[in-house]
Chain A
Amino acid sequence: MSGAAEVLNLSLAELSGALAARRVTSREATEAALARIAATDGRVGAFLAVTAEQALAHAAAADERAAGGARRGPLDGVPLAVKDLFLTRGIPTTAGSRILEGYLPPYDGTVVERLLAAGAVLLGKLNLDEFAMGSSNENSAYKLCRNPWDLARTPGGSSGGSAAALAARQAFGTFGTDTGGSIREPAAFCGVVGLKPTYGRVSRYGVIAFASSLDQPGPLGRTVEDVALLLQTIAGHDPKDMTSSARPVDDYRAGLQGGARGLRVGVPRAWLAEGVEAGVRQRVEEALAAYERLGATLVDVELPHTKYGIAAYYLLAPAEASSNLARYDGVRYGLRRGAGGALKELYRATRQAGFGAEPKRRIMLGTYALSAGYYDAYYLRAQKVRTLLRRDFERAFERCDVIAGPVTPTVAFRLGEKVTDPLAMYLADVFTVTCNLAALPGIALPCGLHPSERVPVGLQLIGRPFDEAMLLRAARALEREVGPLPPPTGLED
């Protein structure tokens, strides 16, 4: 195959086919990706660490397997990258925080272990909001990440680097985590596909914890098929995660071509009313019309409690975070300050110096919500609202197979626009948090460019528990109908 640019424009599935047919080597694909990162990442800021040496060694091993007729599967030799929240043995893992600067994990998490076992080439660690707390990647303690469609805009967050790297053609697939929209929102902002699996479908072992009842790792890709291949590799039971499901994993690729005929698409009309910017609404309505053209039926559904999603989420997630982040105390790993004083001073000085503003804000909020006298009014009430939300979806899914709506109320906003107003930033998650609260799978996929702003608009599909196959099938049907987006415009030289 001729030229690095040509290789970089292949989808993951196409590259996999080319590797299997030995038209391209993993070394060529890996070198092309590394060169692309070197040429563009000064402007994008998607990577916190590039592991070139290890990547080339993995590529050489993959090429040997291919030459010997012993390819391990579709990801063998494919250059991928993971959010810097996934533990990687011996490779710095920071969670985007100063408090973990220099930390070298002693083991690989399950997702990374499965990727390496599948023969994937790991290019490095991707930028994120500190401890995955944020919707714009602006809370990274290390550097800004920019949207390849328009470098003045945010790539979204918290998995901003995971989406930006794909849009910038720096990797063929990436992994993120989604606690309140952190895979789907950046995927929508950068014009790629991102899937948040059902809680329990993908192991959380070796993923730095933010809010353990909401966190779920998942794949991002440039096509729905790519996301299906990536999910196939990481899904399934893991005895090291007690919330990991033992249910069999569907064959996601096999179901992709099922089309939309006969599909019942639930539409919560309130999600297309006030608060959704007009250009976003237009593209989402066009996507719904496309489903009808393809033979699907639109069904109005009511999700009356979803408007309380943000309020419940911003009590529950900070409460869990305040507990999970208690472990950063300057004793076992990471930063240490104030060692001259007593133990309490060491804790306080370490945490003061190591955490950025957003983790501190959420630790404060969560500590308050859990504190004596406030627990019932805040935390317990939010857990009850979570039950109501889940029931809303159960009722809706009696009448439809997937629920469709916008991912975000606006397209990618400008860097700096919301940093001084945390509540405004939180409201960007209004359509995504409900999925996490109800523990359901959700996918974001591009449904065209905004009519005047010329940056991507995302469509969100939400499914029944463990019905990722249905989401992927419905997403693939729309993707074929809408066609691919043009290449991003922000990196044109």
Chain B
Amino acid sequence: MSLSLDEVRRIAVLARLELTPEEERLFQGQLSAVLDYVAQLEELDVSSVEPMTHALAEGERPALREDEVLPSLGPPVALANAPAREGTFFKVPRIIE
């Protein structure tokens, strides 16, 4: 199946990517080739098959703990890698336009 350039642009918007015109054309071809390849899954009748929604082995359960406060990173440590901060906050550009 072949993706149109418009579809590539639509996916880029959804994925919060800003592609160059060269990347749009490159990905159009490469993603179309991958989609052609994965189309072979249509050969299989999966109508009565349950999806595998997690990778735990049989008898394993995801471990949930009590919702209690435990020691964690304090604000100075949590903010240390932020490209911009103000006081104890991450700083971002204007959100409401």
Contacts and interface: CB of A to CB of B under 8 A. Distances in A.
Interface of A: 103-104, 106-107, 198-200, 213-214, 239, 242-246, 305, 308, 310-312, 314-315, 322, 326, 329-336, 339-349, 351-352, 355, 357, 360-361, 363-365, 367-368, 371, 378, 380-388, 390, 422-423, 426, 439, 465-466
Contacts of B50: 384, 387
Nearest to A377: B42
Given A352-B19, A360-B27, A200 B57 contact: yes
Contacts of A357: 23, 26
A382 B64 CA distance: 27
User: Is chain B's binding surface mostly helix, strand, loop or mixed?
Assistant: loop
A243 B57 CA distance: 10
B18 A351 contact: yes
Given A352-B19, A363-B17, A381-B41, A387 B63 contact: no
Contacts of B84: 336, 339
Interface in B39-81: 40-42, 44, 46, 49-58, 60, 62-65, 73, 77-78, 80-81
22 contacts: A104-B80, A106-B77, A199-B56, A213-B55, A308-B44, A332-B81, A333-B83, A334-B83, A342-B94, A343-B95, A346-B93, A352-B18, A364-B11, A364-B15, A364-B27, A364-B31, A367-B14, A382-B41, A384-B50, A385-B41, A387-B52, A439-B57
B30 A422 contact: yes
Given A360-B27, A364-B11, A382-B41, A106 B78 contact: yes
B89 to A, nearest CB: 11
Contact of B30 (A242, A330, A361, A465): A361
Nearest to B38: A311
Among all A-B residue pairs, the 6 with the closest Cβ atoms: A383-B51, A336-B83, A333-B81, A384-B46, A348-B18, A386-B52
Given A106-B78, A342-B97, A348 B41 contact: no
A246 B35 CA distance: 39
A335 B17 CA distance: 14
B91 to A, nearest CB: 8
B82 A332 contact: yes
Contacts of B62: 242-243
Contact of A326 (B3, B16, B51, B52): B16
Nearest to B57: A465
Nearest to B62: A242
Interface of B: 3, 7-8, 11-12, 14-19, 23, 26-27, 30-31, 33-35, 37-38, 40-42, 44, 46, 49-58, 60, 62-65, 73, 77-78, 80-84, 90, 92-95, 97
Given A351-B16, A352-B19, A382-B41, A364 B8 contact: yes
Contacts of A385: 41, 44, 46
Contacts of B7: 368
A331 B41 contact: no
Contacts of B8: 364
Nearest to A311: B38
